C-alpha cells in the first residue's frame, strides 16, 4: 500500500478504535505508519551511486514487507509493549510500524501464493513447457541428450517466465496501490462506518505471550483472506468490498492496541 492507505488506516484506528488516542499520539502514530517505507527509500537514494549497496537494501525491503511482514509486525508489537510498559514515548512509533507491517501482510500482491500473484505458477509452467520442447527437440539424439535438452530449455523457460511474471506483478501491484489510494479518498466515510460497526473488544488471555500467540493466529487468518481475495473483487461493488477489506486490516490493528493497553 501507499501513503494514503497506511496513514488512513492508522488514523481510522487511532480515532475510531476501541482505545481512541489524544491528538499528540495520533499525530505520531500516523507519521510512524509510513516510516518503514520512507527509511528504505532514504537508504536507496543515499546509496544510489553504489549498486552493490542498493541491491541488498532492495531485497531486505522486499523480504520484510512481503513474506516477512508478519514477523516484523510481531517484533514491533513486542517493542511497542515494552516501551509502553516503561513509559517510553517511542512506543507509539513502534505501534505505527506494527500497523504498517499488518497492512503489508494483508496486501494480496505481497503473498507468493495469493490469487493475485501469478509468479510461481507461471514460472513452473514456463519451465515445464520449455523442458518438454527440449525433450522434443532432442528426441532423436538419445535419452542422455533428451534429458540435457530438457534441463537446459527448462532453465531458460523458468528464467524467462519468472522474469516476465515479476515485471507484470510489479506493474499490477503499482496500479492496485494507486487505485486503493483513490478508493480511500472516495469511500472513507463508508470505511469509517463499517469499522465502527464491526470493531470489537476481544477477550485477552492472562499473559502477554498468550496474547502474542492470538495476534499471530489473527495474522494468519488475515493472510488466508488475502490469499483468496482478488484485487478486482476488492475494487468492485462501489466501494463496499474495499471497505470490507480495509476493515479486516483495521480490526487487527485495533487488536494490537488492545494488547498494549491491557498489559
Ranges of each domain in the chain: 3-116+180-262
Length, in residues, of the chain: 263
Tell whether the model's pLDDT for residue 140 goes beyond 70. Answer: no
Q: What is the pLDDT of residues 160-218, one digit of tens each?
A: 655 666 567 677 888 999 999 999 999 999 999 999 999 999 999 999 999 999 999 99
Residues 68-79, mean pLDDT to the nearest whole number? 98
- Residues 162 and 121: their CA atoms lie apart, in Å, by 9
> Hunting for cell 476481544 — which residue is that?
202
Tell whether the model's pLDDT for residue 240 goes beyond 80. Answer: yes
Max CA-CA distance within the chain? 77
Torsion angle defined by CA atoms of residues 202, 205, 207 and 210, in that order, rounded to the nearest 10 degrees: -90
**Model pTM?**
0.84
pLDDT attached to residue 238: 84
Domain 3-116+180-262, CATH among 1.10.3470, 2.30.30, 1.10.575, 3.40.50: 1.10.575
Contacts 24+ apart (CB under 8 A), 175-179: 176/108, 176/109, 176/116, 176/231, 176/235, 177/1, 177/2, 177/5, 178/2, 179/235
Residue 213 to residues 76, 199, 204: CA-CA distances in angstroms?
A: 14, 20, 11
Amino acid at each position: 500500500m501507499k501513503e494514503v492507505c497506511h496513514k488512513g488506516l492508522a488514523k481510522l484506528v487511532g480515532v475510531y478504535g476501541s482505545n481512541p488516542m489524544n491528538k499528540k499520539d495520533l499525530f505520531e502514530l500516523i507519521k510512524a505508519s509510513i516510516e518503514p517505507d520512507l527509511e528504505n527509500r532514504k537508504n536507496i537514494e543515499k546509496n544510489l551511486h553504489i549498486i552493490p549497496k542498493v541491491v541488498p537494501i532492495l531485497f531486505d525491503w522486499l523480504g520484510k514487507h512481503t513474506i516477512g511482514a508478519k514477523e516484523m509486525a510481531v517484533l514491533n508489537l513486542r517493542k511497542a509493549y515494552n516501551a509502553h510498559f516503561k513509559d517510553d514515548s517511542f512506543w507509539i512509533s513502534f505501534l505505527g510500524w506494527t500497523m504498517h507491517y499488518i497492512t503489508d501482510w494483508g496486501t494480496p500482491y505481497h503473498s507468493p501464493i495469493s490469487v493475485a500473484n501469478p509468479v510461481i505458477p507461471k514460472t513452473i509452467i514456463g519451465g515445464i513447457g520449455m523442458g518438454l520442447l527440449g525433450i522434443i527437440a532432442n528426441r532423436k539424439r538419445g535419452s542422455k541428450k533428451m534429458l540435457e535438452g530438457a534441463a537446459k530449455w527448462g532453465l531458460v523457460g523458468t528464467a524467462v517466465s519468472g522474469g516476465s511474471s515479476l515485471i507484470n506483478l510489479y506493474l499490477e501491484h503499482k496500479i492496485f496501490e494507486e487505485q486503493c489510494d483513490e478508493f480511500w479518498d472516495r469511500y472513507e466515510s463508508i470505511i469509517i462506518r463499517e469499522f465502527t460497526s464491526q470493531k470489537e473488544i476481544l477477550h485477552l488471555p492472562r499473559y502477554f505471550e498468550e496474547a502474542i500467540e492470538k495476534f499471530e493466529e489473527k495474522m494468519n487468518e488475515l493472510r488466508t483472506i488475502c490469499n483468496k481475495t482478488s484485487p478486482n473483487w476488492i475494487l468492485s461493488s462501489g466501494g463496499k468490498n474495499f471497505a470490507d477489506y480495509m476493515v479486516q486490516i483495521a480490526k487487527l490493528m485495533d487488536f494490537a492496541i488492545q494488547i498494549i493497553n491491557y498489559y
